[in-house]
Amino acid sequence: MAITPNYYETLYITRPDIQEEDLAKIQQKLQDSISSNEGEIIKADKWAERNLAYEIQDHKKGTYYILVFKALPNASKEVEKHLQFYRTDILRFITLKTTEEAVNKNKASEEKKEKTEPTTPTPPPAAPPTTTAAPTPPPAAPEPPTAAPEPPPAAPEPPTAAPEPAATPPTEAPASTEEAKTENTDTQEEGGTN
């Protein structure tokens, strides 16, 4: 029974200050281990230089590389063995098994992206043409609510001090003639004869 090749993706992070010859040596070792296992490299790209989530070997940044290949199952173990051997230059790595459909889909989307990207820079857009038509009015402001909000209750007024009633002297004259008559009759009844 023949062993069928599998598809793999390896993501590895190198030191940001790695020398070109050291990187080329590592990539050549990876390529040799894949080809010795009846494999082929589908994609080998520098992805990006990014800040790391945490410091690794005194580095706060790292350069990410992606390697997609098709090979016998033993190839993934050899690739990881080489990446581990160069652990001073390779900060982290991971290899995942993938499917042919996923690889083809990714390759098709990258080809489509390359076709849609312009090869020459496009000139800046021209200024919009001026028109003599009246400008469109701005959108209408929203209508205010129909029910007016109730005003807040007024603060109660502080009580005023009422003046104390003055004592009326007994000799004070009555205010009206009616009171005078009733007063006279009261004193006559009390005193008897006048």
Domain that holds residue 31: 6-116
Report the pLDDT value the prediction gives residue 194, as an integer from 0 to 100.
Answer: 46
Q: Which of 69, 68, 51 is nearest to 60 (CA)?
A: 51
Q: Angle CA(115)–CA(45)–CA(110) in degrees, nearest 5?
A: 25
The pTM of the full predicted model, rounded to 2 decimals, is 0.55
DSSP E strand boundaries for 4-58:
6-14, 40-56
Below-70 pLDDT ranges, the chain: 1, 117-194
Q: In this structure, is residue 22 part of a structural domain?
A: yes
Q: In this structure, is residue 132 part of a structural domain?
A: no
Q: In this structure, is residue 129 part of a structural domain?
A: no
Q: In this structure, is residue 182 part of a structural domain?
A: no
- For residue 49, the domain's CATH number is 3.30.70.60
Q: In this structure, is residue 33 part of a structural domain?
A: yes
Q: In this structure, is residue 159 part of a structural domain?
A: no
Tens of pLDDT, residue by residue over 21-74, are: 999 999 999 999 999 988 899 999 998 899 999 999 999 999 999 999 999 888
> CB-based burial of residue 122 (10 Å sphere; 0-12 exposed, 13-18 middle, 19+ buried)?
exposed
Q: In this structure, is residue 90 part of a structural domain?
A: yes
Residue that the structure tokens 């001026």 belong to: 130
Provide the number of structural domains found in the chain.
1
Report the pLDDT value the prediction gives residue 93, as an integer from 0 to 100.
Answer: 93
Q: In this structure, is residue 140 part of a structural domain?
A: no
